[in-house]
Amino acid sequence: MSESPITADITYELCDMTEWDNVNADIAITDPPFGLEFDGKASNYNRDTSRVVDGYVEWESDTYGGKISSLLDVLARNTHSEGQGIVFSGKDNSHLVHQAVIDRPEWTLEGKLYWAYNFAPYCKLRPAHNVYELYWIVKGNDWYYSNECSYEHCQSGEANLSTLQIKRNYLKEMPKYPTRLPPKLVKVLLEHFTREGDTVFDPLAGSGAVGVVSAQQNREAVMGDLNEEAKRVFNETLESLAE
Ligand SMILES: C[S@@+](CC[C@H](N)C(=O)[O-])C[C@H]1O[C@@H](n2cnc3c(N)ncnc32)[C@H](O)[C@@H]1O
């Protein structure tokens, strides 16, 4: 996490995603569970599991499409009429995310971005899938987008937002939350898709990376998760920023 101070309101509720109503956010940026019985502790992840926190709530693969549809409903209820969303997906259930987006009348699929990252646990042993798909969804025609951010993909050469090459930062000293998003990735998305003062919503917040970086960038953050341990990691992150 960068050391920048928090400059906007930040809310983190321990609640089910379906409990949110009328947040009126400008954008939802959210990374759902994978639907893979994932807990971040499997031996093939090659990490010190004693530092991986418990309580990650996974979604069953056979009900995954329905869960994503319910998530899209939550995002629609909690963004304003010209709001937008960015929904992450790994490879295994990406087809279900795509289908759910097409099926939900509130949302239009405006585009897709790809986030390519280093996959430290596997990479020395065999090829591994290391690309996430980010579904960019919009409600109307008046969505906000800036075609330039402060990072190298916009500052040098030809801008290419379709494929973002951003390393995961495997923090050694902090408790590990499975699938914690890198702050740089969140910041790139904020600079392209939001303005200062906007409200950013993440009902599946985990360690709270989306909200913390938003509040560091002067965007109001509204977040939730069912996992108490996730909120503990979030609180520790805030404390370390305050030191
Ligand atoms: C992929 S993780 C998000 C990780 C997060 N982006 C980060 O940077 O740490 C998905 C999160 O959704 C939470 N979750 C699963 N089902 C939920 C539900 N119905 N309501 C709220 N949170 C839920 C899980 O506990 C998990 O923390």
Q: For 156-208, how does the pLDDT look when each residue is reduced to its tens digit (9 = 90+)?
A: 877 777 889 888 776 555 567 778 899 999 999 999 999 999 999 999 999 99
The DSSP output letter for 73 is H
Burial of 122 (0-12, 13-18, 19+ CB in 10 A): middle
Atom of ligand 1 nearest to the CA of 202: 6
- When pLDDT is averaged across residues 111-132 and rounded to a whole number, the result is 76
Note the pLDDT of residue 22: 95
Tell me if the domain spanning 10-242 has CATH number 3.40.50.150: yes
Q: Could you report the per-residue pLDDT of 133-147, keeping only the tens digit for each?
A: 999 999 999 999 998
Answer whether residue 83 shows pLDDT above 60.
yes
Kindly give the distance from the C-alpha atom of residue 158 to the centroid of ligand 1, in angstroms, as a whole number.
35
What's the pLDDT at 46?
47
pTM score: 0.92
One-character DSSP codes across 74-117:
HHHHTEEEEEEEEEEE-STTHHHHHHHHHH-TT-EEEEEEEEE-
Residue 53: alpha-carbon gap to chain centroid: 18
Distance of CA 205 to the CA centre of its chain: 7
Mean pLDDT of all residues in 102-130: 82
Ligand 1 center–CA 55 separation, angstroms:
10
